[in-house]
Amino acid sequence: MNSNTHFFFALTLPDETKEYIYEITEQIRTEFPFKKWLHKEDYHITLAFLGNAPDDLKKKSIQLVEEALSEEGSFPLTLFQIGTFGSKDFPKILWSGTAVQERLFEIQRNVYNACLEAGFSLDKKLFKPHITIARKYIGERPFSIEELQEKAGLASRGHSFTASAVTLYQTHIGSSPSYEAIFTTPLK
Give the span between the Cα atoms of 125 and 187, in whole angstroms. 25
Catalytic (active-site) positions: 44, 130
First to last CA, the chain: 34
- Cα–Cα distance measured from residue 72 to residue 165, given in angstroms and rounded to the nearest whole number: 10
Output DSSP code: residue 185: E
Which H or E run contains 172? none
CA atoms of 49 and 154, how far apart (whole Å): 29
| Closest listed residue to residue 104, CA positions, set 112, 92, 96, 114 | 112
Which residues touch 144 (CB under 8 Å, ≥6 apart)?
A: none
Q: What Cα–Cα distance (Å) separates residue 93 from each residue in 34, 111, 185?
A: 9, 24, 28
